[in-house]
């Protein structure tokens, strides 16, 4: 079976199931909570892991006869611990709620796995420089869904002869958030590597054992799934029980994909500049500046301002921007739930700010301050299930008002570059799903020195401008020309001194 999509050849399509020796004989059913339901029909957050191989291991004969069997057998072993992933999402007519179900007697069970081969230039594919956005889509499988059922996860292993291979993952968003997705990959990589080294299947590390127990989530909405989906997707009136993923086509025409890096030193310089401006611009002494700022805040503020300014410069009429991001709710629920809880457990949040702040001269400071204050509020007040409705209502209103919605996908805390299947760490990890909207892919740095990577998909002329703004901004931060900043600080101190003297 072959495909002409970017010269990809599909050698095999199989369903991988847990080992037949598994003691599992009864059907496993896992309910979907409110946190799952709100993502039920949204597109998966696809990722690709690229691995380089020596010539001896990347020949087609060795790869298909040795490496692929190791990956398949260890995937089967991994599914022993993640049984629901080998089943489907279903919504029977006699059930008020959809759920995941694994039936060991169902011949249609299993994780869909494609084994493919590409003649693309491996170095070009994993390069950070702009290249055609459509290329990455070749290495990601489709996640099957229909009105009646949906696959939980789909995988694709692609060989680049004499160079390496990629592992593409398409996880259902109702089942996986970023933390769960990374846990599954880590478990698979761990079992594969250990099996290769010892010849035996080891026990899974305790922190990688998934917890599927939904009873620990306090579902105050009583999870009326039809009502929830009716509120979230009013245009689907009469079709609320459908499990078919909404069409959300990637924006690939004339678009390029590129990766940018912020080193630990870059982040420190951005932080110093933002905190310095905090003293100059923010005169509210009841809210002192923070002692530090997270990599997430600094990366989003710097990248999104460059993002917005590039879009605005090319399309002048686009000047109103908003930022939507997700937070992990595990530690923020009452009571908190364990870190190894497996399922989607995130909530979305907008930062409250002036829509023009992204393109102002002090945009990085303004955006960083707003993200900081929003996260601080979430930590103090926690998260609530009703927040999802507010987010969807806000999103709808902002779209009607002509806002460009900027987003972020991923985290630098997942340690995705640590996933070694026994053939070395990844050369590149890429979030493919950012090609569906205006989002940045956010992840840890390959070298593990505390830096971050930012992935983008943009029209080529917008990407060129983003690159200029991004790189020149870092050069300015590194120039050590702080004369203007010192001048402003001295003025600020002088004003405060006069105010204190007047009060005295």
Question: Does residue 249 lie in a domain region?
Answer: no
Rounded to the nearest 5°, which phi and psi values hold at 438? -90, 80
Calculate the alpha carbon distances from 78 to 138, 375, 477 in Å: 25, 35, 46
Please indicate, yes or no, whether residues 207 and 277 belong to a single structural domain of this protein: no
Residue 18 region by backbone torsions, left for phi larger than 0, else alpha for psi between -120 and 50, else beta: beta
Q: What is the pTM of this model?
A: 0.91
| pLDDT tens digits, 450-469 | 999 999 999 999 999 999 99
DSSP category for residue 297: H
Structure-token pair, residue 386 = 């009703």
Is 400 part of a structural domain of the chain?
A: yes
Give dist(CA 295, CA 268) in Å, integer: 9
Question: Residues for the chain: how many in total?
Answer: 504
Which of 106, 219, 268, 420 is an active site residue?
420
* Domain of residue 131, residue span: 5-236
Same domain membership, residue 263 and residue 118: no
CB atoms within 10 A of CB 248: 13
Which has the higher per-residue pLDDT, 298 or 219? 298
Same domain? For 376 and 421 the reply is yes
Tell me if 108 is assigned to some domain: yes
pLDDT the model gives residue 285: 62
pLDDT for the residue 14: 96
Coil, strand, or helix at residue 47? strand
Instruction: Supply the Cα-derived Rg of the chain in whole angstroms.
Output: 24
Please give the residue that has the higher pLDDT: either 489 or 437: 437
Least confident of 62-76, 280-294, 376-390: 376-390
Residue range 230-239: mean pLDDT, rounded: 74
More confident residue, 471 or 503: 471
pLDDT value of residue 222? 55
- 424 with 461, same domain? yes
Domain count within the chain: 2
Query: Which stretches within 53-156 are classed as H helix?
Result: 55-58, 60-62, 68-81, 122-126, 134-137
Q: Judge whether residue 501 has pLDDT over 60.
A: no
DSSP state of 63: I
Say whether both 197 and 329 belong to one domain: no
Is the CB of residue 283 less than 8 Å from the CB of residue 346? no
Q: Give residue 392's pLDDT band: very low, low, confident or very high (50, 70, 90).
A: confident
pLDDT band for position 482 (50/70/90)? very low
Q: Is the pLDDT of residue 57 over 50?
A: yes
490 and 370 fall within a common domain: yes
- Section 325-350 average pLDDT: 92
pLDDT tens track for 107-120: 888 999 999 999 99
The CATH number given to whatever domain includes residue 58 is: 3.30.559.10
Label residue 504 by pLDDT band (50, 70, 90). very low
Please tell me whether residues 219 and 287 are part of one structural domain. Answer: no
Question: Which of 86-90, 157-161, 360-364, 487-491 shows the lowest per-residue confidence on average (mean pLDDT)?
Answer: 487-491
86 close to 109: Cβ distance less than 8 angstroms: yes
173 catalytically annotated: yes
Q: Which residues contact 354 (CB under 8 A, 6 or more apart)?
A: 366
**Confidence tier at 391 by pLDDT (50, 70, 90):** confident
Q: Which of 76-85, 242-251, 295-304, 490-499 has the lowest mean pLDDT?
A: 490-499
Q: Tell whether 246 is covered by a domain.
A: no
> Does residue 244 fall inside a structural domain?
no
Kindly state whether residues 275 and 350 are assigned to the same domain: yes
Question: Closest Cα partner for 36 from 96, 98, 107, 80?
Answer: 98
Alpha-carbon gap, residue 403 to 311, rounded angstroms: 12
- 94 found inside a domain: yes
What tokens does 314 get? 């090319």
pLDDT single digits (tens) 174-186: 999 999 999 999 9
Burial of 426 per CB tally in 10 Å (0-12, 13-18, 19+)? buried
Q: Is residue 207 part of a domain?
A: yes
pLDDT classification of 7: cutoffs 50, 70, 90:
confident
Does one domain contain both 259 and 382? yes
Q: What pLDDT score was predicted for residue 284?
A: 66
Choosing from 206, 236, 266, the residue where a domain stops is: 236
Buried b / exposed e over 205-230, threshold 16 CB at 10 Å, is eeebebebebeebeeebebebeebbe
Statement to judge: residues 473 and 404 lie in one domain: yes
Q: Which phi and psi (to 5°) does residue 255 adopt? A: -105, 150
The whole-angstrom separation of Cα 88 and Cα 86 is 7
Residues 187 and 289 in one domain: no
Shared domain for 207 and 288, answered yes or no, is no
Predicted pLDDT of residue 373 = 92
Catalytic one among 43, 81, 172, 173?
173
Instruction: With cut-offs at 50, 70 and 90, classify the pLDDT of residue 227.
Output: confident
Q: Is the CB of residue 18 less than 8 Å from the CB of residue 28?
A: no
The reply to whether omega before 98 is within 30° of 0 (cis) is: no
The reply to whether 247 falls in a domain is: no
Task: Name the band, by pLDDT with cuts 50, 70 and 90, for residue 23.
Answer: low
């Amino acid at each position: 079976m072959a495909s002409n999509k970017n010269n990809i050849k599909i050698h095999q399509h199989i369903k991988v199931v847990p080992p037949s020796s598994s003691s599992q004989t009864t059907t496993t059913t896992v309910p979907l909570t409110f946190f799952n339901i709100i993502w039920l029909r949204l597109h998966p957050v696809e990722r690709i892991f690229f691995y380089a191989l020596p010539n001896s291991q990347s020949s087609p004969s060795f790869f298909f006869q040795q490496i692929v069997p190791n990956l398949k057998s260890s995937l089967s072993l991994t599914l022993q611990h993640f049984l629901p992933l080998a089943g489907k999402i279903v919504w029977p007519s006699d059930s008020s709620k959809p759920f995941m179900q694994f039936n060991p007697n169902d011949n249609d069970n299993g994780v869909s796995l494609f084994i493919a081969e590409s003649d693309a230039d491996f170095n070009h594919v994993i390069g950070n420089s702009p290249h055609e956005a459509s290329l990455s889509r070749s290495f990601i499988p489709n996640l099957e869904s229909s009105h009646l059922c949906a696959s939980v996860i789909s995988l694709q292993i692609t060989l680049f002869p004499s160079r390496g291979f990629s592992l593409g993952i398409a996880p259902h968003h109702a089942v996986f958030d970023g933390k769960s997705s990374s846990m599954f990959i880590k478990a698979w990589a761990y079992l594969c590597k250990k099996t290769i080294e010892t010849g035996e299947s080891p026990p899974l590390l305790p922190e990688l054992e998934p917890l599927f127990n939904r009873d620990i989530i306090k579902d105050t909405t009583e999870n009326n799934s039809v009502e929830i989906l009716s509120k979230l997707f009013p245009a689907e009136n009469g079709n609320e029980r459908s499990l078919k993923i909404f069409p959300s086509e990637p924006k690939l025409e004339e678009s390029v994909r590129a990766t940018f890096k912020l080193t630990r030193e870059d982040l420190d310089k951005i932080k110093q500049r933002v905190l310095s401006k905090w003293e100059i611009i923010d005169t509210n002494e009841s809210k002192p500046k923070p002692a530090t700022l997270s990599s997430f805040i600094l990366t989003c503020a710097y990248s999104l301002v460059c993002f917005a300014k590039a879009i605005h410069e090319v399309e002048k009429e686009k000047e109103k921007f908003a930022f939507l991001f997700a937070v992990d709710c595990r530690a923020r629920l009452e009571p908190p739930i364990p870190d190894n809880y497996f399922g989607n457990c995130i909530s979305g949040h907008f930062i409250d700010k002036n829509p023009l702040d992204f393109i102002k001269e002090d945009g990085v400071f303004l955006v960083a301050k707003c993200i900081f204050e929003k996260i601080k509020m979430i930590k103090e007040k926690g998260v609530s299930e009703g927040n999802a409705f507010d987010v969807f209502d806000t999103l709808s209103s902002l779209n009607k008002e002509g806002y460009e919605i900027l987003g972020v996908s991923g985290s630098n805390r997942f340690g995705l570059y640590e996933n070694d299947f026994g053939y070395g760490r990844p050369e590149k990890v890429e979030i493919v799903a950012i090609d569906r909207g205006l989002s940045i892919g956010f992840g840890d740095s390959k070298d593990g020195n505390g830096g971050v990577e930012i992935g983008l998909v943009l029209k080529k002329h917008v990407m060129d401008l983003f690159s200029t703004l991004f790189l020149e901004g870092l050069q300015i931060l590194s120039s050590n020309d702080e004369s203007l900043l010192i001048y402003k600080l001295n003025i600020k101190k002088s004003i405060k001194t006069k105010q204190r003297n007047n009060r005295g």
